[in-house]
Amino acid sequence: MVQQLSLFSAIDDESYDLCISTLATLSGKPPILFSSFSAMFKPNPSYEIERVNSKNQLVEQNRIKLCKELSINDFSQGKYPKDYNLLKQFTTDDLANFDISKLTDLMNGSSDPDKMDVDECESSISGNSWCLNISDIPSAGGNRSVSMQSITESIILSSGGSSASIISFLSELGYILDFQNITLGVKLNMANDVCLELSKIWHLDGQKTVQKTKGGFLIKAYVNVAKGTDIKSINQGISSLASLQKDLSGYIDLEIPDRKAMDSRLDNLDDI
């Protein structure tokens, strides 16, 4: 489990070049391209799940997030440079050159329905690992200067079989697919262990994609602290984010987001 301290902001597409230039100068390092696919799973509503524990306390149902890296080659197709300029090619809902069927293969183990179930063979696929992520709602408090959220992660190395299905694996645990996103962005390693990401996010709707960040980029500055009880490291992280916030003030206004927007509890969407 890590304690993630974070601040968020946004810029428009036209400010991207200047923003990257400014941040790269501050960090002293070039931006790093990254791309990922994430799938959110929710408890299967067809199951009757107890909402209280042995102490008769209410237990909230939470979504589970699965993440997997995607190859930059899937986006560039050799037509665009593999640097921060790549993101300037994606300003619409359409993910040009990206093959959506690859995501079906990732989730089901194969795009062939006859090969989706787990077989009895040992898996020989080295790229079938997933990062499983469960997060708590950020801490409340009007006097906080940063968002503070507990995140628990684990790695699923294999779900079994040469045509393993991560969907079948989570289905056996009582979870079904809720929604899916594709993220393409750049990451900069700033001073004092602060990471800063600029990203574009697409919601996957069947075989179509809808860009949730159309017209701009989401900016996230964060520090991960290994232990929530490490007060010294938490205070250092808060100070580092506050320093970056001050340096970028008036150009990029880093702020604390609404904690409900970062709430993975199942009933949360009904409250927004």
How many domains does one find in the chain?
1
pLDDT band, very low/low/confident/very high, at 123 (cuts 50, 70, 90): very low
Give the residue numbers spanning the domain of 229: 2-46+60-109+127-262
pLDDT band, very low/low/confident/very high, at 101 (cuts 50, 70, 90): confident
Residue 269 included in any domain? no
Q: What is the pLDDT at residue 124?
A: 36
Average pLDDT, the chain: 85
Q: What is the pLDDT at residue 70?
A: 92
Q: What's the CATH code of the domain at 167? A: 2.40.320.10
* Amino acid present at 187: K
What is the 3 state secondary structure string of the chain? Answer: CEEEEEEEEEEEHHHHHHHHHHHHHHHCCCCEEEEEEEEEEEECCCCCCCCECCCCCECCCECEEEEEECCCHHHHCCCCCCCHHHHHHCCCCCCCCCCCHHHHHHHHCCCCHHHCCCCCCCCCCCCCCEEEEEECCCCCCCCCCCEEEEEEEEEECCCCCCCCCHHHHHHHCCEEEEEEEEEEEEEEECHHHCEEEEEEEEEEECCEEEECCCCEEEEEEEEEECCCCCHHHHHHHHHHHHHHHHHCCCCCCCECCCHHHHCCECCHHHCC
Residue 117 included in any domain? no
Residue 249 included in any domain? yes
Candidate from 44-53, 68-77, 87-96, 262-271 with smallest mean pLDDT: 262-271
The more confidently predicted of residues 205 and 238 is 238
pLDDT band, very low/low/confident/very high, at 271 (cuts 50, 70, 90): very low
Residue 54 included in any domain? no
The more confidently predicted of residues 109 and 39 is 39
* Most confident stretch, 38-47, 83-92, 195-204: 195-204
Which of these, 246, 241, 235, lies nearest to 223 by C-alpha position? 241
Residue 55 included in any domain? no
Residue 120 included in any domain? no
With 50 as the cut, is the pLDDT of residue 133 above it? Answer: yes
Which of these, 253, 57, 43, 257, lies nearest to 139 by C-alpha position? 257
